[in-house]
């Protein structure tokens, strides 16, 4: 009985794999093509790889900028919490907000300027 179940399951697996391979082109028909990097797709494999690397470096820079913005907001929330404890004043919160906005803006500006390099 066990042999018969194993044979049946092996045959079912073979049928499933064969049918999936036969209809793969139909399933993949709706998938959009891979987009080219921003630097272009021409010039050979190495140039295309370099363009993808430039996009990757830009993405890392934007993620670091987002992290900096999150840290600025977190510091502002912490300062606001310290106001209720009496450890800080609204002047400290204003200073934190102004410095944080300037730092976050400068970070995003530098990342957008770096896009011209790549």
Contact indicator for 65, 111 with CB cutoff of 8 Å: yes
Gap between the Cα atoms of 24 and 45, Å rounded: 27
Listed in sequence order, the DSSP H helices in 1-118 are 2-22, 24-27, 45-85, 90-114
**Better-predicted residue by pLDDT, 7 or 108:** 108
Domain range annotation of the chain:
1-31, 38-114
**Least confident stretch, 23-27, 49-53, 56-60, 63-67:** 23-27
pLDDT band per the 50, 70, 90 thresholds, residue 61: confident
Query: What pTM was estimated for this model as a whole?
Result: 0.59
pLDDT tens column, 37-59: 777 777 788 888 888 888 888 88
């Amino acid at each position: 009985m066990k042999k018969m179940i194993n044979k049946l399951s092996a045959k079912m697996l073979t049928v499933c794999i064969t049918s999936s391979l036969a209809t793969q082109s139909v399933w993949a028909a709706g998938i959009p093509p891979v987009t080219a990097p921003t630097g272009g797709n021409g010039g050979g494999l190495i140039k295309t790889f370099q363009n993808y690397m430039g996009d990757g470096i830009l993405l890392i820079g934007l993620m670091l900028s987002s992290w900096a913005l999150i840290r600025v907001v977190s510091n502002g929330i912490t300062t606001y919490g310290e106001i209720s404890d009496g450890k800080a004043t609204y002047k400290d919160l204003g200073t934190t907000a102004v410095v944080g906005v300037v730092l976050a803006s400068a970070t995003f500006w530098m990342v957008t300027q770096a896009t011209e390099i790549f």
